[in-house]
Chain A
Amino acid sequence: EIVLTQSPGTLSLSPGERATLSCRASQSVSSSYLAWYQQKPGQAPRLLIYGASSRATGIPDRFSGSGSGTDFTLTISRLEPEDFAVYYCQQYGSSQYTFGQGTKLEIK
């Protein structure tokens, strides 16, 4: 099973700042099968990025994804108040999905 490790566990930033979230895999992941989600309290997760770098429908362009192999990054260029939430990465390989443990993005 591929293990995804996200860092940092908590990120404290102010609106307008840039956020960089990391997702590291225990073995190589196909870029086609790396996704990022945002989850707010009491809500289901929302797909942000698929295929490591493609934005899902309706996702603002301040969200971008990059990376390959074992290292992937979600970047939020300028934080808006509604961006403070928990973010998860997810991979698929060998008919199995796994999620990272999440990064909480909180207001500083």
Chain B
Amino acid sequence: SQELEQSPQSLIVQEGKNLTINCTSSKTLYGLYWYKQKYGEGLIFLMMLQKGGEEKSHEKITAKLDEKKQQSSLHITASQPSHAGIYLCGADIIDDYKLSFGAGTTVTVRA
């Protein structure tokens, strides 16, 4: 089983609507990373969260890490076609600097 559970597996949103992706672990995380991937390409770094309760925003994307450092959410406001892609959460589950990854969430934005 995956050490990181990502949900939903996929979602389709109308352009202009908001969306939220969740990433959950049964263990306390040392660090949580969000990436975006276009099909067949490399990963684009979005944000890194390390402290319980931390929240970061960049343009229309906000990521939060809960106080217990076991769950993170990625929220996109007023989605655009450029937000389409696969979103992956990665985490330091043990303190060895090796990221484990969730299964990914495929986002489709319909005009």
Task: State whether these chains interact.
Answer: no
Q: Which chain A residues have a beta carbon within 8 Å of chain B's beta carbons? A: none
